[in-house]
């Protein structure tokens, strides 16, 4: 089995992974809806959920699996459209899947996970890990917290209705090449310890988590490659160069100091890189 894997960054925490004739998508969000979230003082939680179908059609082709890390709008809002276009299997928590059901995604495409699962697909495997979303401020608050267990909720119409719903990380393995996607500025250290990915995708440092970068690198064995994720202005057009709003440069400096043998792979919007071979 080939171990060559190509990744393409679709902005935010959206990734396309191709290898062994298969395609996996992580948090495929390309609509770039303006909510004011990246413009201090202008964030509007009542912003309507919208899908830019032209962007979905332009940037997303086929997919076999879709991996959801959490249910905030900039991760899940486009998933129903992508699932409809591709017919892919969608992995997520009960809340993630209930929100997707409420937005019209068919039950038969939804696979509920909570962490600990290892699934074999044609050409690759997916292992699921519990994770945690980053918090902010003195009181360690979480944006749009909550879960939606039980009956399917009413269809969400505003971004505030897309609650976090639990967070997940994923290890995707093609042959001898493995990629660990932790698109959150936090992680469950004792669960991750012992994972040895070829490539680690991670966010920049968060002041609420002491030594986050150093602990993540140590827990994952100082991976050969580090790729920053979710560092751009995710409300600016995807066809423009990424603007570092969330610490890619700072992360690069910390990685260089803590894991000098790791290669730093910084991709711009829609750029690709191939690992393994």
- 213 three-class SS: helix
* Residue 136: both structure tokens together: 């902010």
**Would you state the pLDDT for residue 72?**
96
| Close Cβ partners of 102 (under 8 Å, ≥ 6 residues apart) | 152, 153, 154, 155, 156
CATH top class, domain 5-275: alpha beta
Vertex 182 angle, CA 180 and 186, to 5°: 140
Residue 236 has pLDDT above 80, yes or no: yes
**Would you state the pLDDT for residue 185?**
80
How do residues 41-88 score in pLDDT, each as one tens digit?
Answer: 899 999 999 999 999 999 999 999 999 999 999 999 999 999 999 999
How do residues 180-235 score in pLDDT, each as one tens digit?
Answer: 999 888 889 989 999 999 999 999 888 888 899 999 999 999 999 999 999 999 99
**Percent of the chain whose pLDDT exceeds 70:** 99
Residue 91 has pLDDT above 90, yes or no: yes
**Would you state the pLDDT for residue 20?**
93
Q: What is the domain partition of the chain in residue ranges?
A: 5-275
CA distance 191 to 117: 13
CA distance 192 to 105: 31
Q: Specify burial of residue 250 (Cβ count, 10 A radius: 0-12, 13-18, 19+).
A: middle
Any bridge partners for residue 128, and if so which? 170
CA distance 38 to 99: 24
How do residues 148-184 score in pLDDT, each as one tens digit?
Answer: 999 999 999 999 999 999 999 999 999 999 999 998 8
**Would you state the pLDDT for residue 136?**
80
Buried b (16+ CB within 10 A) or exposed e, 120-156: eeebbebbbbbbbbbbeeeeeeebbeeebeeeeeeeb
Give residue 139's pLDDT band: very low, low, confident or very high (50, 70, 90): confident
Residue 1 has pLDDT above 60, yes or no: no
Tokens 């440092």 belong to: 205
**Percent of the chain whose pLDDT exceeds 90:** 85
* Residue 90: both structure tokens together: 């969608």
**Would you state the pLDDT for residue 186?**
86
* Short-list 91, 106, 86, 117, CA closest to 22: 86
**Would you state the pLDDT for residue 70?**
96
* Short-list 74, 84, 82, CA closest to 55: 82
Give residue 27's pLDDT band: very low, low, confident or very high (50, 70, 90): very high
* Short-list 87, 169, 88, CA closest to 126: 169
**Would you state the pLDDT for residue 244?**
95
Mean pLDDT of the chain: 95
Residue 241 has pLDDT above 80, yes or no: yes
Tokens 């997919």 belong to: 63
DSSP assigned state of 36: S
**Would you state the pLDDT for residue 140?**
85
Output 171 or 40, whichever has higher pLDDT.
171
Any bridge partners for residue 124, and if so which? 121
| Close Cβ partners of 50 (under 8 Å, ≥ 6 residues apart) | 31, 33, 77
**Would you state the pLDDT for residue 2?**
56
* Short-list 134, 116, 96, CA closest to 230: 134
């Amino acid at each position: 089995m080939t171990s060559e894997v190509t990744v393409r960054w679709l902005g935010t925490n959206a990734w396309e992974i191709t290898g062994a004739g298969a395609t996996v998508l992580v948090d495929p969000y390309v609509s770039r809806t303006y909510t004011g979230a990246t413009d201090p003082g202008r964030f509007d939680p009542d912003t309507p959920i919208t899908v830019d179908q032209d962007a979905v059609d332009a940037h997303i082709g086929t997919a076999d699996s879709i991996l959801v890390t959490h249910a905030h709008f900039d991760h899940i809002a486009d998933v129903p459209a992508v699932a409809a276009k591709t017919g892919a299997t969608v992995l997520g928590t009960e809340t993630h899947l209930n929100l997707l059901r409420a937005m019209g995604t068919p039950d038969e495409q939804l696979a509920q996970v909570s962490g600990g699962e290892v699934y074999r697909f044609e050409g690759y495997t997916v292992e699921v890990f519990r994770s945690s979303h980053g918090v902010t401020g003195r009181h360690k608050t979480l944006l749009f917290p909550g879960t939606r267990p039980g009956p399917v909720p009413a269809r969400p119409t505003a971004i505030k209705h897309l609650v976090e719903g639990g967070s997940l990380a994923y290890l995707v393995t093609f042959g001898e090449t493995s990629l660990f996607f932790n698109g959150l500025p936090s992680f469950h250290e004792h669960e991750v310890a012992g994972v040895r990915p070829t490539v680690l995708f991670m966010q920049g440092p968060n002041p609420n988590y002491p030594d986050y970068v150093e602990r993540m690198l140590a827990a994952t064995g100082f991976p050969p490659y580090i790729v920053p994720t979710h560092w751009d202005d995710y409300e600016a057009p995807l066809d423009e160069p990424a603007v570092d709003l969330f610490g890619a440069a700072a992360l690069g400096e910390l990685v260089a100091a803590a894991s000098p043998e790791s290669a730093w792979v910084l991709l711009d919007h829609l750029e690709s890189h191939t690992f393994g071979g």
